[in-house]
Chain A
Amino acid sequence: MDTKAHADETINHITPYRIYVLVWVTLMVLTVISVGVSYFHFGIFNIVVALAVASVKASLVALYFMHLKYEDKITWVFALYPLGLLALLIGLSISDVFFRAVVSP
């Protein structure tokens, strides 16, 4: 598909009301699940489940509400590269805090 045709398709795409309502219902169900799970104690799995559910919700918001599903590649690059930077920021901060060797003066 050439770029022009793709641009037309992106611009012309109209998400029907019904799809948005379905996404909303799913988001609400996921919210109820994450609140429900917080009443049980699974140790480390609580945070894993909480973050997994949050990430599914965030993906739904980005893909449908923010229209990312119908965007071209360059928009995906703009949308995804901050996630890589976030991983670097949080990952390296953690490795610094927990693995820094204590040097005696």
Chain B
Amino acid sequence: MEGVEKIEHVHGHHVDPVVEYQSLKFGMWLFIATELLLFGGLFAAYTIFRAKFPEMFAEQHLELNKTLGALNTAVLILSSLTMALGVTSIQRGKPKRLALFLLLTILLGLAFGVNKYFEYSAKFHHHIYPGTSIFFSLYFTMTGLHMLHVFAGMALLTTMLVLTLRGRFSDKYYTPVEVSGLYWHLVDLIWIYLFPLLYLIA
């Protein structure tokens, strides 16, 4: 029974706190499923066009900056770590530490965005646009849609940071933080596939 008491309800709804915790978590996993399928359509298009035009993919991916891509991978993986550490912090009843980790995670998301801005600018400078070829069409659509998800994640985590600073979370109630973390990790997970598929075609 200890676990049931541990997650307390702060809003005062007449819902079993364990039921609320699990429904929120299932809701996020279900949303993650729809997100995977959203990207799935693009991955399907990628697979078909790469199989049809392997030379184009092999040639044109050389225009992408492998170092910047790898750097952004490292930034995003590090941001997943800081997010995970944040959840452990609040589970151990340390809201200040959670706030610090949330801030770090948001800043790393921002660093990812700045890096991507420079990458896109360099492409435009070389007159490479989404309409240039099928490869760059896919590149801009996939990374652009992913970037939107990074922004959405940053907005969500900023909300969590504000709520944390207002003292809304403790070791007894941190469900929104954990569920927002799931979303942030999903953004990392999608990039884990985008990076080798776009930047590392040998």
Binding site for B on A (CB under 8 A): 4, 7-9, 11-12, 14-17, 20-21, 23-24, 27-28, 31, 34-35, 37-42, 46-47, 50-51, 53-54, 57-58, 61-62, 64-67, 74-75, 78-79, 81-83, 85-86, 89-90, 93-94, 97-98
Contact = CB atoms under 8 A, between A and B. Distances in A.
A61 B88 contact: no
B196 A54 contact: yes
B26 A89 contact: no
Contacts of B92: 14
Contacts of B102: none
Contact of A57 (B29, B32, B178, B192): B192
B83 A65 contact: yes
A7 to B, nearest CB: 6
B197 to A, nearest CB: 7
B37 A17 contact: no
Contact of A31 (B73, B84, B87, B91): B73
B182 interface: yes
A27 B47 CA distance: 25
B196 A9 contact: no
B37 A24 contact: no
B12 to A, nearest CB: 20
Interface in B154-202: 178, 181-182, 185-186, 188-189, 192-193, 195-197, 199-202
Contact of B37 (A37, A66, A75, A82): A82
A79 B33 CA distance: 7
